A and B are shown apart, each in its own frame.
Chain A
Amino acid sequence: MNTTLTGWLLDVYPNETNLTLWLIGDDGQRHRLVQDFSARLYVAGPAARLRLLWRWLEQQPIPVHLERTRRMDAFTGMQTVLAVEARQPARLDELFRGMLAAFPELTYYDADISLPLRHAAAFNVFPLAHCQVELCGDRVTGLQPLNTPWEIEPEPVPLRILSLEPDCEPAHGEPQSVIVSHGRVRYILPVHNRTQLLVGLSAELRRFDPDLVLTSWGDTWLLPLLLQASRERGLVLPLNRDESMAVVERKEHTYFSYGQIIYRGRQVQLRGRWHLDCHNAILWNDYALQGVLEMARVTRQPVQEAARLSPGTGISSMQFVTALQHELLIPWHKQQAETPKSTMDLLRADMGGMVYQPTVGLHRDVAGIDFVSMYPGIMVRFNISPEVPRARTDPSTSSGQCLEPAPGEPGIIPLTLAPLLNKRLTLKSSMLHLKRDDCRRPLYQALASAHKWLLVTCFGYLGYKNARFGRIESHEAVTAYGREALLRAKEAAEDLDYEILHMYVDGLWVQKAGCKSPEDFEALLADITARTGLPISMDGIYRWVVFLPSRVNKRVPVPNCYFGVFQDGSIKVRGIEARRHDTAPFIAETQMRLLEILARAEDAAHLGEVLPQAQEYVRRQLHRLRTGQVPLEKLLISQKLSRELGEYSSPSPAARAVRQLQAAGKTARPGQKVRFLYTLGKPGVRTWDVPPPPDPHSVDLPRYRTLFERAVNTVLTPIQYSVNGGMDDECLYLFPSVKFQPVAALLRGNVA
């Protein structure tokens, strides 16, 4: 019997013969559906070898449909390829491994794209898409999305969320109980009585039937423990809603990304409902559940994957979906190398964004202006994509200074990015008009920060040799357009007599006597947009901002180390102790509080009035530190382990703390954080995550005092200097700002 159903798409995954779909129906029911779906890959190579492959495939036990066709390769142009379509999508991977073993020399395309992504591309759906499904029994015969991932406020999905949280952090102590909660229900199950725990949870899972099991340390501690207990006792625990499938477990791993070492704990994923561990989800602190759902919507990755994926995989997924929908081949192993360049070409092209040295010191009434999502904006506006021929006047190859889009149809990168960028711009501009306490603000912020990471990574992946749509020349072109745009902005500002205090890749800090309100800068913003074709916005006007010098050499400014207070009283800090992850919370909080006290001054001229309060606060905090009134948790230093313990030539404090962890039988892998206290005597540190609690008298107070004073001085030194009558822009003699008239004019004046 044919029926129609509408609802939200919860999950898609392969079963043995086809795909399983879960739908949260508008009727409130959870529906398990199946859908026939075939998956394709393409093979290119010499015709004779392809014929052999054809014959080989016909003899395989996996049923396939074969076809000779033509498709576009982003790097080598139109190709004649053999299309191999597997009717049992879950077996495509097995088939591909066989082909690869028998015909390793052929070029494979679309070979390793996950089935949920293929499904999303084929039906233009996404996780939590609101869709209409045509059914014959439980078999899907038609699927249409009723919305898109690009809506600013997606209709809220009636998700049933069950939270599970241990009473303490498993790495630090032995949890005694698990707190179970949903809605207004909240109760405790003991951990030591495993049978009671399993029976209690099992009853809750059946009674409440959650769509999402949201845990703390569920990936690394709780779910493995539950699964093991359930196996040992032979008790069924219906973690999966789809009981025909097994729970998916993945091992821990460590990898490098953006110069940082990153650790991902083991993962436990469920089928038919989701499991998210807020301590193992990427950037949970930045964007929480709404951000995870947004990440899944725009990247089309299943929610459980999206939560644990790096933004790099997210942006690649988006590109894959665009490529599948536009019939562009996705190389399995990319083989393009960098095009040979002359030394001078390399010298001109191999550069990053422009980073200036700021004018050190305190400055008043400074406007911070930023290009909005500059690099993604450049890719979209100037059509920069690996397969698109470069513009004749591309600033990375020609010495000309033109800003023209590359000719032709938009490439895969602009096609992928444009809707995401538009959504981000719409969110940002809507946020400008929201009141500070508007309830939509946190949601918008979560969505915007999820987008931010995707857009940032998109630029990085363009220059990443292993990225499927990466090409170093495109990456270089983006930075070249960026430098040109920033220089044009500088020229625009200087033509209007603004003084440039600092420039940093996509932002400028400018000031002009008498300019204090946003209207005073409108003409400048309009001029910059006219000269560059890129949108620029006002980050805010600072009452005052301080650019800091290097700690090693006071005469050398540091580009990304500053703090300031906007006219609305909000504070912006970059690069100082409060922003660093390895600062003890007590010191970071003191520094931020100090800034809050200074922010009470209505402008820089009134700083002298609040300075005594700030100094008094510092004295009180120092007294608390010296008299042991600061709780030990507030003195914890948290550092990432950058390598295996054996690889340290002289062990860092973090490495020494790990040694103590290991002696207590715990492990720490590179990329994991270690928490410790500085202590007196050897080895100078005491790890936090090994009982018993450390003795408060062993804390190395002089060391904490040094760190405390350093953080306080970072903020107070330039403020005191300004209050005591120091010339704001001339703290250091070598860097006078150009406040004097040209000599010629002076001479003329004298003659007159």
Chain B
Amino acid sequence: MGRTLPSATQTFLQEEAAFARFRRALRRSDQISLDDLFSSARQHLAAAQYASHALPFEVFLLSMLLEEHKEVERLRQLLEEHLSRQP
């Protein structure tokens, strides 16, 4: 209400929509993975808004990377636990 600029959520939805043609041409399995990436970027909309970056998509990409890295670390930890249980 009463804002001059679109909010981070609005910007995000616009950016996501801009990739509609790209998404359409992907295989179904890849589409699901792409949707996951966008969902993960949504986790950090508050931070993206606060950053007020002039190129918001860079922040969304970094958000995706952040979630991917968290996932890698989690898997790494699971693996370490698994390996440490091995005799």
Contact = CB atoms under 8 A, between A and B. Distances in A.
A557 B9 CA distance: 13
Interface in A499-558: 503, 553, 555-557
Interface string B57-87: 0000000000100110110110010001000
A354 B45 CA distance: 10
Given A734-B67, A740-B77, A357 B4 contact: no
Interface string B21-42: 0000000000000001001101
Given A258-B1, A736-B70, A746-B80, A347 B45 contact: no
A743 interface: yes
A346 interface: yes
Contacts of B2: 463-464
A746 B70 CA distance: 15
A736 B73 CA distance: 10
Nearest to A747: B80
Contact of A734 (B1, B4, B40, B46): B40
B5 interface: yes
B73 A740 contact: yes
B39 A352 contact: no
Contacts of A734: 36, 39-40, 43, 67, 71
A228 interface: no
A750 interface: yes
A475 to B, nearest CB: 9
A357 B40 contact: no
A556 B4 contact: no
B46 A357 contact: yes
Interface string A712-752: 00000000000000000000001110101101001000100
A350 B80 CA distance: 46
B14 interface: no
A346 B4 contact: yes
A451 interface: no
B54 interface: yes
B5 A350 contact: yes
Given A351-B49, A555-B36, A743-B73, A346 B5 contact: yes
A348 interface: yes
A483 B54 contact: no
Contact of A743 (B36, B39, B76, B84): B76
Contacts of A347: 5, 52, 54
Contacts of B44: 357
B75 to A, nearest CB: 10
Given A347-B5, A750-B84, A736 B46 contact: no
Interface in A466-510: 483, 487, 503
B19 interface: no
Contacts of A258: 1
Contacts of B36: 555, 734
B50 A354 contact: yes
Nearest to A559: B46
A555 B38 CA distance: 10
Nearest to A464: B2
A259 interface: yes
Interface residues of B, number: 27
Given A346-B5, A741-B77, A355 B52 contact: no
A348 B50 CA distance: 8
A553 B32 CA distance: 12
Given A347-B52, A740-B73, A354 B39 contact: no
Contacts of B77: 740-741, 743, 746
A745 to B, nearest CB: 10
A218 to B, nearest CB: 34
A448 B49 CA distance: 33
A556 B67 CA distance: 13
Given A736-B71, A740-B73, A259 B1 contact: yes
B39 A350 contact: no
B45 A357 contact: yes
Contacts of A736: 70-71, 74
Interface in A549-585: 553, 555-557
A356 interface: yes
Interface string A339-373: 00001101110111011110000000000000000
A362 B48 CA distance: 26
A740 B39 CA distance: 22
Contacts of A483: 50
Nearest to A738: B70
A259 B2 CA distance: 10
A30 to B, nearest CB: 46
A487 B46 CA distance: 11
A348 B73 contact: no
Interface string A86-105: 00000000000000000000
B52 A357 contact: no
B87 to A, nearest CB: 16
Contacts of A557: 43
Nearest to A351: B49
A553 B41 CA distance: 14
Given A357-B43, A357-B46, A350 B74 contact: no
Q: Looking at B5, B46, B70, B80, which has the most chain A CB atoms within 10 Å of its CB?
A: B46
Contact of A356 (B46, B52, B54): B46
Contact of A553 (B1, B39, B54, B76): B39
Given A344-B54, A736-B71, A750-B80, A350 B3 contact: yes
B74 A352 contact: no
A355 B40 CA distance: 16
A423 B39 CA distance: 44
A128 B77 CA distance: 69
A504 to B, nearest CB: 10
B49 A357 contact: no
Contacts of A555: 36, 39
B53 to A, nearest CB: 8
Contacts of A348: 52
Contact of B74 (A346, A464, A740): A740
A740 B79 CA distance: 12
Contacts of B39: 553, 555-556, 734
A558 to B, nearest CB: 11
Nearest to B3: A350
Contacts of A746: 76-77, 80
A352 B77 CA distance: 38
A346 B5 CA distance: 8
Contacts of B74: 736, 740
A347 B5 CA distance: 7
Contact of B46 (A259, A355, A738): A355
B52 A351 contact: yes
Contacts of B46: 354-357, 503
Contacts of B67: 734
Nearest to B36: A734
Given A350-B3, A356-B46, A487-B50, 15 more contacts: A343-B54, A346-B5, A347-B52, A351-B7, A354-B46, A354-B50, A357-B44, A483-B50, A503-B46, A556-B39, A734-B67, A741-B77, A743-B73, A746-B76, A750-B84
16 contacts: A347-B52, A350-B3, A352-B3, A352-B7, A356-B46, A357-B42, A487-B50, A556-B39, A557-B43, A734-B40, A734-B43, A734-B67, A738-B70, A740-B77, A743-B76, A746-B76
Nearest first, the 9 closest Cβ-Cβ pairs linking A and B are A555-B39, A740-B77, A347-B52, A356-B46, A350-B5, A348-B52, A736-B74, A350-B4, A357-B43
